[in-house]
Structure 1
Amino acid sequence: MAINRRLFFASGIALATALSVKGAMAQNAELKLGLSMPTLNTPFFTVLVNAASAEATSLGGSVVQTTNANRDASQQVTDFRNLINAGANAILAGVVDRAAIGPALDYAKSRNVPVVIVDDQPAAGEVYAVVRADNLTMGERAAEALAATLTAKTGTVLQIQGALTTTNGRDRSDGFNAKFKDLAPDIKVIEQAANWDGPMSANVVSTVLSGNQDIIGIYLATDTLYYDPVAAALKSRGRLLPVGDPAHLPIVAIDGGSGALQAIRDGYLDATISQPVTDYAKYGVTLLQNAINGVAIKAGPTDHNSNVVQADSYFVDELPSPIVSKENVDDPTLWGNGK
């Protein structure tokens, strides 16, 4: 198998999996991790930072610095430079803008600093690997969960999308639409993007409910950003009622934050698809340790119930994402439960 030109590796190192460091710990170079986050105003990224820091320490490394781009793509480019100048020899990053991240990745390459991107896939630049869930599948699972709650065969479902400029936003919408059409072909879907913005999601639900009296379900592309404002808007209209109430409005989401898990316990949120946030951190940092050791990566099954695939010349470790309902909401391995 030819080695992809986007990989960082020392010449002469034989091709090996980057997903296991068993037997290689004694040879580990010291990991000096830089964390570049698109924002720190959501539990998703604060949990990711904490888990990545713990994993770096467990591998005998350290975190040089954590930066917060505050959703400013140009700031993230500056953040990469600052992390490398501060001594980071590897960077774990979320992405503000998948195209605008290119110059940051180019700079990291010029300094021989490997990068692993989590949760989204860049549209430009070179990285060692991407670690994310299959967002198309998450959308499909959300459609299955919502369709299972509906008793009516006709009516309208509101889909509040993420930003369609992002891979995750498009995939979560496309996956939902394709599967829901198969499962409930006579139910109309209204699609409105809220661009990962909580207040915008509240405005969307208020506007759509005002003009559509036949809304029988809601799908949220993110619960960490949308659930609380949407729930507040529904409550103000007398539409936030628990499962079991004849007027309950089924809601299904993606992310699996702590607030969403509590809403499932309380009966207001029917289900969510949990992102494997702590696993993004764990396996992202493990990959970076391998990268600085000069270990190359290859496609195929891993030792942690996932598959590494090649997508647009990137190696992507696609992690599983479980459906969460009342039956398994207390599972301690779910990131929203703080484990």
Structure 2
Amino acid sequence: MTTVLKSTLAATICISAVVLGYPSFAADSTMKLGLSMPTLNTPFFTVLVNAATDEAKAAGGEVVQTTNANRDASQQVTDFRNLINAGANVILAGVVDRAAIKPALDYAKSKSVPVVIVDDKPSAGEVYAVVRADNVAMGARAAEALSAAMTQKDGTVLHITGGLTTTNGRNRKDGFVEAFTKVSTAKVIEQTANWDGPTSANVASTVMSGNADIAGIYLATDTLYYDPVSAALRSRGRLVPAGETGHIAMVAIDGGASALKAIRDGYLDATISQPVTDYAKYGVVYLQAALDGKEMTEGPTDHDSTVVKDGAYFVDELPSPIVTKTNVDDANLWGNAK
């Protein structure tokens, strides 16, 4: 591990002799990273894989394999076994299903392979750390941005949620609903699209057909929903840039490249950007800490976040910036990654 990475790690977490739930590792253990992704059909996870690969190499390690579960929970369990059989001594993973991942985590523990989960957290099983953003706060920030962007304050709002069986889906919904009722009296039509792009387009078309007064739209994800929803609006002559008559205010969460282009073009008013590259960066930092026999603890970090204990899990809740025309070209936004 490089001197810079050791300095970052020392400032990030407190140090102890043993990793909770795992045996001690040699202080000079070389990282052999396995990447278990729930899907690779979105830029979110491809950027995450590329960034994690760069971070592992910078730390003197390597990526032994990247697996794609194609949103199949049972496949992800198999993927964990395949990664460990391929020589992975640590695993960075997204989650297909919060409950169904437990056998994979149990197997990793039985082989003394530490795991860090990004973006969501499991409902059972042991992991070294979880690295994610505060999705309730993201939903609240989106609500405030949408209310501010709406020119027809008494118009109807379409809220297309993510899958409500997922933590992120529920949190993004709850954060939005609680905050929006505090800043607006607009009627809200809530429909779920279960993280599926074509479904989001169908929802938008159906709701627009029966509600001519739609003045605002909140998308729980822009990487999956923005393109299909904007296509549905365009087909009805309702995709109009900000500042022009007929513009429907629209705010989302994620911060993918398509959303950033839409902000530049004026069709999307704002998005809340997930810190995807930081998921990779600090996920790798924590996995190296596990290899070095260090223990996660609660408290502030050196990267403007706080590690909290959420049930059985240590969770590093990273900040998620709001993106508008004023900062859409920021090179640090993952949607601008080359």
Superposition TM-score tier, normalisation by shorter sequence = over 0.9
Displacement of 1:126: 0.5
In the alignment, the residues of structure 2 paired with residue 214 and residue 86 of structure 1 have an alpha-carbon distance, to the nearest angstrom, of 56
Q: Secondary structure at the match of 1:187?
A: coil
Structure 2 gaps of 5+ residues are: 1-13
Matched with 2:157 is: 157
Matched with 1:7 is: 20
| CA RMSD between the two structures | 1.7
Among all aligned residue pairs of Structure 1 and Structure 2, give the percentage whose two residues are the same amino acid.
73
Q: Secondary structure at the match of 2:309?
A: strand
Q: Secondary structure at the match of 1:163?
A: coil
Displacement of 1:153: 3.2
The code of the aligned residue for 1:242 comes to P
Deviations 1:23-68 (A, max 9, x none): xxx9431000000000000000000000000000000000010000
Q: Secondary structure at the match of 1:331?
A: coil
Judge conservation of contact 2:275–2:333 (CA < 8 Å) in 1: yes
Judge conservation of contact 2:23–2:112 (CA < 8 Å) in 1: no
Q: Secondary structure at the match of 2:158?
A: strand
In the alignment, the residues of structure 2 paired with residue 290 and residue 58 of structure 1 have an alpha-carbon distance, to the nearest angstrom, of 15
Map 1:1-339 onto structure 2 (within 5 A).
7-10=20-23, 27-184=27-184, 186-338=185-337
Displacement of 1:213: 1.6
Judge conservation of contact 2:19–2:295 (CA < 8 Å) in 1: no
Displacement of 1:154: 1.7
Matched with 1:17 is: none
Displacement of 1:6: 9.1
Judge conservation of contact 2:19–2:293 (CA < 8 Å) in 1: no
Deviations 1:301-326 (A, max 9, x none): 00111000010110000000000000
Aligned residues: 323
In the alignment, the residues of structure 2 paired with residue 97 and residue 89 of structure 1 have an alpha-carbon distance, to the nearest angstrom, of 23
The code of the aligned residue for 1:227 comes to Y
Displacement of 1:211: 1.2
Judge conservation of contact 2:307–2:316 (CA < 8 Å) in 1: yes
Extract structure 1 runs of 4+ deviating beyond 6 A. none
Matched with 1:16 is: none
Q: Secondary structure at the match of 1:165?
A: coil
Displacement of 1:188: 1.0
Judge conservation of contact 2:140–2:176 (CA < 8 Å) in 1: yes
Judge conservation of contact 2:19–2:290 (CA < 8 Å) in 1: no
Q: Secondary structure at the match of 2:187?
A: strand
Judge conservation of contact 2:77–2:103 (CA < 8 Å) in 1: yes
In the alignment, the residues of structure 2 paired with residue 27 and residue 316 of structure 1 have an alpha-carbon distance, to the nearest angstrom, of 24
In the alignment, the residues of structure 1 paired with residue 311 and residue 212 of structure 2 have an alpha-carbon distance, to the nearest angstrom, of 43
TM-score calculated relative to the size of structure 2: 0.93
Structure 1 gaps of 5+ residues are: 14-25
In the alignment, the residues of structure 1 paired with residue 104 and residue 192 of structure 2 have an alpha-carbon distance, to the nearest angstrom, of 28
In the alignment, the residues of structure 1 paired with residue 172 and residue 239 of structure 2 have an alpha-carbon distance, to the nearest angstrom, of 24
Q: Secondary structure at the match of 1:132?
A: strand
User: Mean Cα displacement is larger for which, 114-123 or 150-159?
Assistant: 150-159
